[in-house]
Structure 1
Amino acid sequence: MTIQEPYQAGPLPRDLLHALREGGYDVSALAPAPESDTDLPSAAPVAGPQQASHLLCAVYQATGDPAIGLWLGSRMQPDLLGLAGLPAMAGPSLGTALRRIARYQRLMSGDRIELRRQGDEAWVCICPSEPEAPDARPRIDMELCSLLAFGRQFTSKPLHPLRVSLRIGQPDWHRRYTEAFDCPVRFGEPEDAIVFGRRDLALRLMARARSGPSTPSATHEPRPSAASLDDVRAALQQLAGERALSLAAVARHLDVSERTLQRRLMAAGTGFRALCEEARRDLAGRYLTEGAMSLGEIAFRLGFDDANSFFRAFRRWTGMTPGDYRRAAAHPPA
């Protein structure tokens, strides 16, 4: 089937396009079809959830398949989770990964992800920004399926939800939901959610998922025990995206004890909190100067809960708003 709906949403979600091609969909109207996957530039920008959602809307309108979101979501790769993809894969457990993805979604416009614990159950809920939009159902299906696909790909044990809860009434294609989630599916419920056992959130992520850019690999050479102030600053820049950045985390990263690290900072006449602020301030200036990253994306990379918190911190650091800083950097005075 040829997709003729125009798609102009920025960077193309490569893995999603691959899945469409494998499913027999002609995506030539959305992107030039390379002769092979290797023809795609490896350094091309990674698309995020909003780009995937725009593409989904075009696909849904062109195919008319009400269950297209299930098909696509089960084939999506972590890089379609946007900036949350790598931090999620680097997390120690499924629960940590889901919380990082949820925090990223809160900072971006669009649907939100909420995690709740109810007794022995862990609920992962999708809260749509526009629940009555024409493409809301396939988009929610895609988001639920992609979260489950992430968990199944990166946990070391089989992952089977207790059930899936959906707001829609039971449709004619209801069996496709059961096939996609491989668990009981309840229709006409108050929320759209995957319900896991509480213990599922403690499942460890496989080693290949944890070897992100800020996580030393299993074969790394031990760091020298003497950590200089420059080492501490470098570690803080690598770990700045952690919401609860702590002295203990930096000490582990540098392979020194907390007491040793504390002594080094005192000897240098500085403190941990001051260095954290310095690292985040420097990174914020770099992100605002070098690219077109949104404030929400920058806030996520710096470990803030929302863009407003980042806005207030940046104004405290520099006396300028992020927007004013970006404009001044783009048009320096003669």
Structure 2
Amino acid sequence: MAITTTGLPESPAGRQPRGGDVLAARRRRSATRGIGVVVALLAAFSVYAIADGGITLYLQRVIDGAMNGVLYGMVALALVLVFKATGVINFAQGAMAMVGTFLAFTSVDKWGVPLVIAIVIGMVVSAGAAAGIERTLIRPFDPGNHLAITIVTLALYLAFNALAALIWGFDPRGFPTLFPHDADDYLSIAGARLYYTNLGTALLVIVLVIVLHLVLSRSRLGLAFRCVATSVESSKLLGIHIGRTVQGSWAIAAAVGTLAGCLAAPTTYLDPTFMDKILIYAFAAATLGGLDSIAGALVGGVVVGLSIALLTGYIPALGGQFGLGCAFFVIVAVLQFKPSGLLGRRSQDRV
């Protein structure tokens, strides 16, 4: 293959490849290498795990870790949606999801609404409230002032937790599940149990990720998200309505977060703090997968879930609380060695 004077390989037609094609190829190679490293580490540890406890125990822990990771990935997806449009992490995302989950629970428990409709009600109300919050509390700030917006999200986190405690109290409640959950409702895989409720949750999350990825990658809305996150001034010159774009990201993220909360609540008790630990794992998942990658949120969530399940399961000295430490380690390691994450885009400054 001929080489041009710029050092880039010449295309079959004799033309130098476009810069975008070269950058895309580099991103694919970088993502492939990163995923390859993660897979190799998990595979090496899996060999030790199978030798230590047998295939059945290993598969059960993999299933449990992957199912938890799917939930982490879904909350991470809500974080990514806001970040793609604003370049800011919404620290109130977990608290907003918690309030939406409580609204769905109240619809079922107090008003007798069917669970599916109750979850939809919670998603719609959350989306509307998030749009109002963006309009009244976020939009007055300069979009480029990320510090001020971040502080506002932290204040919202505290406010939502206090509001939930005032309205619903701290008594734990059981949340119903969308899928069959009897003791016999499972698939047996080499002795390990994959419950239908976990399988249904995973399939629902995968479908949601695919739909959002297509919408944000092949629609004007997704293009507007990326433009606003890259440059507010350039977006204005292109005629993009900054406020509506950011407002849309907050609304969609709130709806997705509420759905994630409703899927996660059956695995634990519903109280004003039940999303806090999940949010930390979601931060790790979003950082690992790439803060601007829809698919990366799910991939990162599954990797984080598997890592926590395997490490805490096969290294007893770490203890059950090591999960939070593992999430912190993932965040620090990714920011140090690969800030763009496994599937994220590298930021490039024009000079």
* Structure with the bigger percentage of strand: 1
By the TM > 0.5 criterion, same fold? no
Scaled by the length of structure 2, the TM-score of the pair is: 0.25
Report which structure shows greater RCO (CA 8 Å, sep ≥6).
2
TM-score (normalizing by structure 1): 0.26
| Higher relative helix content | 2
